[in-house]
Amino acid sequence: MEEALSVLKDVKLIIDSAVVLVEHPGDGENKKKKVMEMVNKFIKSNNIVIPIPAMIFNYILASAIDWIVEWLNNNVWKKEDQKQPE
């Protein structure tokens, strides 16, 4: 179980990197698709064994991308008019 969690933790780092690499204004669904392709290609090319079925992994991957993008939008990629008053 510990090994499976370690693999998923490493995959999260890949997702984070892919999200940042494809970032540009707009085109959200295409960016999400590109991130999913990048992550799955990286996993396959590095012979990483995901400890859950691919269909479930891709569902979790899609949700993780949404959560990461939302966090980055709220905390890193804020526009000036969205910043909280200090």
d(CA 57, CA 4): 12
Token readout for 8 is: 């998923």
Confidence class of residue 33 from pLDDT cuts 50, 70 and 90? very high
Check residue 66 and give its pLDDT: 93
| Residue range 43-81, pLDDT digits in tens | 999 888 888 899 999 999 999 999 999 998 899 887 655
Handedness of CA 28, 24, 56, 47 (dihedral sign): positive
The size of the chain, in residues, is 86
Average pLDDT over residues 20-30: 89
Question: Which residue has tokens 């969205």?
Answer: 82
Check residue 31 and give its pLDDT: 94
Q: Helices 2-22 & 28-45, crossing angle to 10 degrees?
A: 130
Check residue 26 and give its pLDDT: 85
The pTM is what? 0.78
